Amino acid sequence: MCLPLQLCFRPTVKANKKVRPALETVTVRTKPPPHVPIDEAIKGITLTKTCPVEVQEFTINKEFIPSSRSGSYAHTGFRDYMEDEHLRIDDLSICFELPSESPRPAAFYGVFDGHGGPEAATFVKNNITKILFQNTNFPMSIEVEKGFIGDAMDSLQRAYLLADKALSDARYGVSPATGTTALTALIFGRILMVANAGDCRAVLCRNGVAVDMSQDHRPANIHEMDRVKKLGARVLYGRLDGILSVTRALGDWDMKIPGRAAGAALSPLISDPDFQHVTLTEDDEFLILASDGIWAVMSSWRAVNIVRKELKKHNDPKRAARKLVRESYWLGANDNATVVVVCLSSQDQRSSMKLRPKGWLGRLLWWRKNQVISLS
């Protein structure tokens, strides 16, 4: 019998190959930029929405209340310094004054993969939530269920574009040759909304099945390839204009058309995010957000299986994130790697999940049943 490649092939590592041990924390020493209030940097900016927002109706079963418990792990890998940043806020009410009618849980997570230096990623990490909740009229209530999704998407898109525009402000000391991808996940009551610009990826584990909550914005993506070519860009050696490996990013103002607003339609490199949203149910176990250092060597379903097995052992999202990073280096990754694991169920994962069956026949049947699902 011919088995799928993922089941019959297991990479090997030479015995003399040294793998750098993982670190709990990574410290990057960079010159702090001059302090400029973010409100001043984005004051007076007028943006035009360039991506249509499709509003979907939904109903909420108020009997089920998800949880938001997270852990993260980051490692420099075999690079000289760290360019990834990540953000974990399990309770937004600690950082912002949310109205009493705002749903719970209210949480926000993000992974930002910088390039050309860590400055842009650090800036977006430090300011994206402030921009979102203080400068975009974010809807703080989901009582009007029909309009919440559209309003939240508008606010998130505006936050991305405002952060991108702020990166062009020379007062922050961020080089125009520096940029970052941005993947964020917002949990508001039972609504999970993921916004992505770049090649980080979010994967939801729903009853053991991997559900892709984002798409990679790279030239290999046929839709992105068509978009940038229609705007006159070239794709050389799998890179935008032979330089950048992503087609959407914040910053990189040396590659964006001068005089245009951030993410303008005439610029092949845009900061407009794509959106995916779901209503969380009892079947939703956890969410993985990770930089491309993970996805370069690992599929979504494999990452989900690794995290499920770890949570089955110890129910610790931080240890599960660390295991995923270490597994990626065992598979040959050499880039910075960052993983955020968000547990969505209040139940103890050690007793509530069924692992993938053992044995080649059981694994084959499981694999055929649980293919990766894409919401796009």
DSSP secondary structure, 150-219, as one string: HHHHHHHHHHHHHHHHHTT-GGG---TT-EE-EEEEEEETTEEEEEEESS-EEEEEETTEEEE-----ST
Domain 63-374 grouped into CATH 3.60.40.10: yes
Q: Please, which pLDDT band fits residue 355 given cuts at 50, 70 and 90? A: low
Residue 43 confidence (pLDDT)? 54
Q: Please, which pLDDT band fits residue 124 given cuts at 50, 70 and 90? A: very high
Residue 366 confidence (pLDDT)? 59
More confident site: 99 or 129: 129
Residue 51 confidence (pLDDT)? 43
Q: What span, in angstroms and rounded, lies between the C-alpha atoms of 306 and 286?
A: 12
Residue 146 confidence (pLDDT)? 61
| Backbone phi and psi for residue 43, each to the nearest 5 degrees, phi listed first | -65, 130
- Per-residue pLDDT at 111 exceeds 60: yes
- Per-residue pLDDT at 362 exceeds 50: yes
Q: What span, in angstroms and rounded, lies between the C-alpha atoms of 72 and 320?
A: 8
H helical segments located in 17-144: 38-41, 119-134
Mean pLDDT of the 64-73 span: 89
Report yes or no: 199 and 113 within 8 Å, Cβ to Cβ. yes
Q: Please, which pLDDT band fits residue 263 given cuts at 50, 70 and 90? A: very low
Report yes or no: 71 and 77 within 8 Å, Cβ to Cβ. no
Residue 126 confidence (pLDDT)? 96
| Backbone phi and psi for residue 240, each to the nearest 5 degrees, phi listed first | -70, 115
Residue 295 confidence (pLDDT)? 97
Mean pLDDT of the 9-31 span: 38
Cis bond leading into 34, ω under 30°? no
Which residue, among 333, 324, 352, has the nearest Cα to 72 in the 3D structure?
324
Residue 58: both structure tokens together:
């939904």
Residue 57 confidence (pLDDT)? 39
Q: Comparing 13-17, 83-87, 318-322, which segment has the lowest mean pLDDT?
A: 13-17
Q: What span, in angstroms and rounded, lies between the C-alpha atoms of 105 and 252?
A: 35
Average pLDDT of every residue of the chain: 80
Q: Please, which pLDDT band fits residue 257 given cuts at 50, 70 and 90? A: low
In percent, the amount of the chain with pLDDT more than 70 equals 70
Mean pLDDT of the 81-93 span: 94
- Per-residue pLDDT at 189 exceeds 70: yes
Cα dist. 265→47, 256, 332, 334, 372 in Å?
Answer: 11, 11, 38, 34, 32
